Amino acid sequence: MSVALVTGPTAGIGRSFAHQLAEQGYDLVLVARDKERLEAEAAELRTAYGVAVEVLPADLVDRAELATVAARLSDPARPVDLLVNNAGFGLKKRFLDNTVDEEQAMLDVLVTAVMRLSHAALGAMSERGSGGIINVSSVAAFLPRGSYSAAKAYVNSFSEWASREYAPRGVTVTCLCPGFTKTEFHERMQVGRGSAPDFMWLDADELVRTALKDHARGKVFSIPSPQYKVISTAARLIAGGVLQRFQGLGRK
């Protein structure tokens, strides 16, 4: 049986990953802070799909608990075939309205955890010559909109590099870049559905289905829905044009 480790699997995109992977026959390792919710989710998955589910409670902000998850990924006796770095963290207020500790906690989850867990997984997977990683980023990565966008830009850049670096060793790395999605994430940030037009809100199950297909095809980026493909492409073209103008000024 293949094994997938999913961070943030008790709601939204992470929960959809857990269920769709279980449906495909993956055994699971579920990682989140809330042990009670993890146990409830694990019981539901075992009953619905007949797969083995391991519960690994961990706060990814805590370096020692993060190390426990990394050790699980690098354990040669219990190989993990697919890592889904999905754990989310968002701050509604502007940068200077948050404390520096709040900003640091966000970076710990969105950047440090992704880097450390990917490091552990890539080491084990490249040694075996097979495996995969899906890093859940955001379309926000293409837009300069505060520290959240900056953190997600790291995830995009890191994933793109890792995809090309480790593909020859049998490891597929895909970066999923959703936009507004109907999950608890925006609710926890007190961001209502009225903050974006209805057509901009995505269904978590559908975007995960697309991401898994893109990963199976070896795609570096999975950007679900036509509207977000347009936004990401436009953002990259505009950014490229601005950069070219600055480079041109530097040559004069």
Catalytic residues: 148
Among residues 217, 144, 210, the alpha carbon closest in space to that of 177 is found at: 210
CA triplet 236, 143, 107: central angle to 5 degrees?
Answer: 125
Do 196 and 180 form a contact (C-beta atoms < 8 A)?
yes
The closest of 19, 14, 18, 11 to 176, measured between CA atoms, is 14
- The token pair at 211 is 């991401």
Judge contact between 149 and 140, C-beta under 8 A.
yes
